[in-house]
Amino acid sequence: MLIGIFSCHYFSFSMGLFDCLAFFRTYIAGSICKFMHWNNGLDEVEEDVELLKLNGTIRIRKKAKIFQLRDQIDDFLGRKIKFEIVSSHSLQAVPGGGGLLSKSAWLAVSNAPLVRPAEGECLTYPITFIADKELRDAGALRVTNYSHHEFYLESVTLDDPSYHGQKIHFPCNSWIYNASNYRGARVFFTNQAYLPSQTPEGLAKYRDMELKVLQGDGEGERKWVDRIYDYDVYNDLGAPDHGPEYARTTLGGSKEFPYPRRCRTGRKRNESDKFTEKPVSIPELIYVPRDEIFDHIKTQNFAADSIKAISHLISRTVEYISKGKDQFNTMEEVYSLYVNSSDSESHSMRSDDNHLKRKLTSGIFSLLANGKKTGNPSLLKFPLPLIVQKNKDAWSTDAEFARQTIAGMHPFTIQRVKVFPLESKLDPKVYGPPPSSINSHHIEPYLEGMTVSEALKENRLYVLDYHDAFLPYIQKINALTDRKAYASRSMFLLTKEGTLTPVAIELSLPKGTGREDRVFVPPGNTSEKHQQSLWKLAKIHAILNDTAVHQTYSHFVRTHSSIEPIIIASHRQLSAMHPLMVLLLPHFKDTLNINALARKVLLNAEVKNILRGGIIEYTFSSGRYSLELSSILYKDWRFDEQGLPGDLLKRGMAVRDANAKYGLRLLIEDYPYAVDGLEVWDSIETWVTDFIRIFYIRDEDVIQDKELRTWWKEIREKGHGDKKDEPGWPSMDRIEDLVLVVTTIIWLASAHHAAVNFGQYPFAGFMPYRPTVGRKLIPTPNSPEYESFLKDPDAFLLSSISSPAQTIVGLSIIEVLSTHASNEEYLGQRSDTQWTNNPQVMRAFEKFQEKLFKIGQHIEQRNNDPLLKNRYGEVQVPYTLLLPTSKGGITNMGIPNSTSI
């Protein structure tokens, strides 16, 4: 695992060797290609044709300074980059030839730019196009690269005031390789969006051609330079050729294990299982379409954060392994993992980020050595999580255990109790009678004088119910080495003060043709320490299940995995000039890349050495069954319940009310995630509605949009093909349907992901509060373990949860996952200020930005309201995860546009 992550971030150095080989490999092909296209007749100026001169600028980012020599060789041989403008309406004389072309404009990548940029920024070059006077409606740009040097084309802008008195902007944002890698020129369109039926005649050919290129033929192994989007099942999670213990179930393509689809790579298959793909040695060798790769700033940020994580892993894990310690003995040992006020640096979440970036090129071992030599312990320690910064002990209280279900990092699964006792849907012949063992006599002493029926009538009972998901897997999990788990239910009362408090926890084990249940209730003010400790153990086992569901389902499946096939379908079926693609593209940024890295580094079972499996498998109780469990949870997935209103209604946390704000009345009024979330949802929905109604005037426009209909059909039948025949899919016959679908996609990619991801380290960074591995069951009276427990309950508790090595691995990962990149693009932001030329769209976007700014103010006001007790809690950590913007680092706030980490 360490080698895999380390090589991941020094991959760019090794890629230089690949590029040197590519130079010789493509030399002949590029030369042939150049001579075939050099004299295409477009450079000749006809004497009788009145000409138009168009001046502009090109923004290019070259790959690395190391290739300057290659640029000079290209220039010597006459290899340059050709640009041509395509007319929207004026057509070529050749039938089917598309729009009229300008004369070719040429650029050598070694030319001096207009302005020398800062390191890593784009170079800006002047360019002049010569065209017939008829070409006054530039709609597309053709680019052919005859040099051997790939480059990133950010944009081309025609800014000559004589040309309609306005700028014509081509947002490109794509890597362009030698022409030998393509069947034709690369094509880019202006920032003018068109529905398919509105496509200018000169651009129709190019619109269709580009989609066919992106769709590919579904055959063969994808190459590094490819831009092809296609589907596959999750058959890349194991490495059966390494041994049967590394084989993993394929997810997707079956009723037993349904799953969204991932991006197809076409890699070679394992010898021992021809249906599964071989793992790759370096994460970046996993294919994703070339333009989905992290940009240079994201790569640097991710590398620096990962090197910091590696420093923790090596320094602290080796320390515990060398001492032969497989558990923490005291809480002081746990606290020793973290920076505190006595260390030489502040315990700020970003205390050493800049230092680490400066250390990036010197390598991890130099980093470790320097940290020790300078006597700077914070360099090799974890930042102190917010959960224990203000109040060191409040994390263990019942009040905080309950509050986290509506204002923590996982406020997505609590639901209202509608029927009591709770009932299982599992087969009673296998798992026993359906009713839960939690009875009235367990909980009525904690119901503030109410009976159960009265509490139900007043909507005062709530539950985290993981019973049915986990029970079928408990025997398998408990058979694993050093893993122990229960199926759990945790019940809560909504108190008169509007806060939640736990009233019972049920922990279940399968037994014969039934199950064995243990019910734990709060010990109250009893002075008997073992009763308090038994209750703590029960809460920990409930949290263990909640943590597993959080990471593998609420986080990975509902955002990363569910969005991936939507991204694939969008590129395959929506042209770059389609209004929906223009709207959605920022919400897809970096998702395919981070998902590919996750499948290799976090989810895959192939990682060997001390972990004996992948990181998720190593750090969660569910072990090798972690992803299977997420597949079981996906069985209940419905598209119409993925948006916030549908989700709240499904869980019984809200009811429809025409007189309530947003048409929903929350049954827990002080539900921070839902209150903030509904404001954010409403702002997205309003923006989407305003945008869509600019292009779709009537419902018939939705029905007649052939790209839209093919897109929606492919999302349902291929991307989420295992769910295609189930209910919950909008019909896509009305503007209202389209608004719901697009709002849901943006919500999942941005706000839902922000709420489930960026609180991981602030809330779960203190392991005893949210451990991920259970290693012992709760002892029963009169057993040898019970006697050990009675002697030292605290030591038994620490021995029951994640080991030091598991803790350090887990903390290292969530520290990286909780960190915002320095160039993060947040909701309501666009990196390209010229992303559209439509003034109506820009006015709607500015309205969206204003709403988001006000939401930030409203959240701050609510957090300062002492009557809203669920927003701060005893740990004194406000709920800020849905504040729209943030700075870089671990901040516990900010909604990025996309699922990018």
- Give the separation between CA 366 and CA 311, rounded to whole angstroms: 10
Q: What is the dihedral of CA 890, 894, 895, 897, to 10 degrees?
A: -80
Catalytic residue among 387, 563, 895, 901: 901
Q: Is 87 helix (H, G, I), strand (E, B) or coil?
A: strand
Cα–Cα nearest to 516, from 505, 507, 526: 507
Catalytic residue among 593, 757, 838, 870: 757
Catalytic residue among 720, 753, 870, 892: 753
Cross-strand partners of 514: 511
Cross-strand partners of 461: 493
* Residue listed under structure tokens 């927003």: 871
On whether the CB atoms of residues 193 and 575 are closer than 8 A, the answer is no
Non-local (6+) Cβ contacts of 209 within 8 A are 184, 187
Q: Which amino acid type is present at position 831?
A: S
Q: Is the dihedral of CA 771, 772, 778, 779 positive or negative?
A: negative
Q: Which two tokens stand for residue 612?
A: 């004996």
Q: Which amino acid type is present at position 580?
A: L
Annotated catalytic residue 355: no
- Give the separation between CA 453 and CA 451, rounded to whole angstroms: 5
CA 857 to centroid of chain Cα atoms: 26
- Give the separation between CA 25 and CA 180, rounded to whole angstroms: 10
Spell out the SS3 assignment of 780-849: CCCCHHHHHHHHCHHHHHHHCECCHHHHHHHHHHHHHHCCECCCCCECCCCCCCCCCCCHHHHHHHHHHH
Annotated catalytic residue 735: no
Cα–Cα nearest to 808, from 767, 768, 773: 767
Half-sphere exposure of 167 (CA within 13 A, CB side): 16
Strand order in the sheet with 514-520: 415-416, 461-465, 487-494, 500-511, 514-520
Catalytic residue among 442, 555, 587, 820: 555
Annotated catalytic residue 296: no
DSSP letter string, 374-416 = TT-GGGGSBPPPGGGTS-SSGGGSHHHHHHHHHHSS-TTS-EE
DSSP letter string, 851-899 = HHHHHHHHHHHHHT-TT-GGGTTTTT----TT-S---SBS-S---BSS-
Annotated catalytic residue 578: no
Cα–Cα nearest to 420, from 465, 389, 461: 461
Q: Which two tokens stand for residue 586?
A: 């920022």
Cross-strand partners of 127: 56
Host H or E run for residue 593:
helix 591-597
Q: Is 1 helix (H, G, I), strand (E, B) or coil?
A: coil
Cross-strand partners of 516: 509
DSSP letter string, 520-558 = E---TT---HHHHHHHHHHHHHHHHHHHHHIIIIIIIII
Radius of gyration over every alpha carbon of the chain, rounded to an integer in angstroms: 29
Annotated catalytic residue 560: yes
DSSP annotation of 657 = -
Cα–Cα nearest to 192, from 141, 243, 133, 150: 141
- Give the separation between CA 776 and CA 866, rounded to whole angstroms: 40
- Give the separation between CA 600 and CA 874, rounded to whole angstroms: 39
Q: Buried b / exposed e across 388-403, counting CB within 10 Å, b at 16+? A: bbeeeebbeebbbbbb
**Which positions are catalytic?**
555, 560, 753, 757, 901
